[in-house]
């Protein structure tokens, strides 16, 4: 069955969310400094630190957020509540500058993952299904381009394709074992792949927080931009998935590319 005019407008809106300039552009507008310049000011060791913090944050978020999710369907997602919560953690982290990232990011990531799940549920995802839950984790990988990405093959569907095998293997593991054995290779691989992309966006956030004028108030604002970015990614992703369930992946992909 062909997409209706309303569904086409939904797909167009999803594409605008998913393919628009990323977090770096939003942060640059806020702090008044190109994030590329701010990134160069970070210590060389910061990249390793951010990667480590990011991976641990995703592991903790996967433990807490996905285990405690309410599976009941809601008509609308609670975006503002989650933004307020993440803003509060950003204000606290901003008081301590970059060293506060190790404390703040796991909390922010957990809240953000719950917000993404809230959006998924509002778009008809069944969160009792392991695949649907892991799609929430995948959203964290949609906001940043991996260093290994082919420059000619960037964008939303390229990121999904890159993660498809990891999602499938992790879902099969969760179906059999549940979340009790997260050290399993399938889960470790998924976390590693997501972290490689998510850490790029986290580095941009860290660079913005390193700008001298930021502080606590700026930390709250930066975290609000941070979650707003991933709420957009989540909304776009789960609109596309809802349309795929109705009309098939190939048809939705074809129309997405034509828009």
Would you say 235 and 121 are in contact if contact means Cβ atoms under 8 Å apart? no
Residue 70: in which H helix or E strand, if any? none
* Phi, psi torsion values for 94, nearest 5 degrees: -65, -25
This prediction has a pTM of: 0.86
State the pLDDT at residue 148: 47
Q: How high is the pLDDT of residue 81?
A: 55
pLDDT at residue 147, rounded to an integer: 46
Instruction: Tell me which residue has tokens 């060389």.
Output: 44
Cβ burial of 159 (10 Å; 0-12, 13-18, 19+) is: buried
- At 135 the pLDDT is 93
**Residues lower than pLDDT 70 in the chain:** 65-100, 143-154, 178-183, 212-217
Contact 124, 147 (CB under 8 A): no
User: Half-sphere exposure of 132 toward its Cβ, with a 13 Å CA cutoff?
Assistant: 20
Q: What is the pLDDT of residue 86?
A: 58
Give 97-124 pLDDT, tens digit per residue: 566 678 888 888 888 888 898 899 999 9
pLDDT of residue 103: 80
């Amino acid at each position: 069955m062909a997409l209706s005019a309303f569904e086409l407008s939904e797909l167009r809106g999803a594409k605008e969310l998913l393919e628009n300039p990323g977090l770096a552009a939003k942060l640059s507008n806020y702090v008044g400094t190109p994030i590329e310049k701010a990134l160069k000011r970070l210590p060389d060791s910061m990249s390793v630190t951010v990667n480590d913090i990011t991976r641990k944050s995703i592991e903790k978020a996967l433990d807490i957020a996905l285990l405690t999710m309410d599976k009941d369907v809601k008509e609308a997602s609670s975006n503002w509540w989650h933004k307020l919560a993440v803003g509060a953690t950003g204000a606290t982290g901003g008081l301590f500058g970059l060293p506060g990232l190790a404390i703040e990011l796991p909390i922010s990531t957990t809240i953000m993952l719950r917000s993404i799940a809230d959006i998924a549920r509002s778009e008809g995802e069944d969160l009792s299904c392991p695949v649907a839950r892991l799609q929430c984790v995948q959203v964290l990988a949609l906001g940043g381009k991996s260093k290994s990405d082919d420059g000619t093959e960037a964008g939303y569907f390229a990121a999904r394709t890159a993660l498809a095998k990891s999602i499938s293997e992790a879902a099969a593991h969760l179906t059999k074992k549940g979340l009790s054995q997260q050290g399993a290779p399938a889960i470790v691989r998924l976390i590693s792949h997501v972290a490689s992309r998510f850490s790029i966006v986290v580095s941009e956030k860290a660079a913005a927080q390193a700008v001298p004028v930021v502080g606590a108030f700026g930390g709250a604002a930066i975290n609000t931009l941070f979650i707003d970015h991933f709420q957009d990614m989540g909304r776009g992703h789960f609109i596309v998935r809802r349309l795929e369930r109705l009309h098939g992946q190939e048809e939705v992909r074809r129309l997405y590319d034509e828009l």
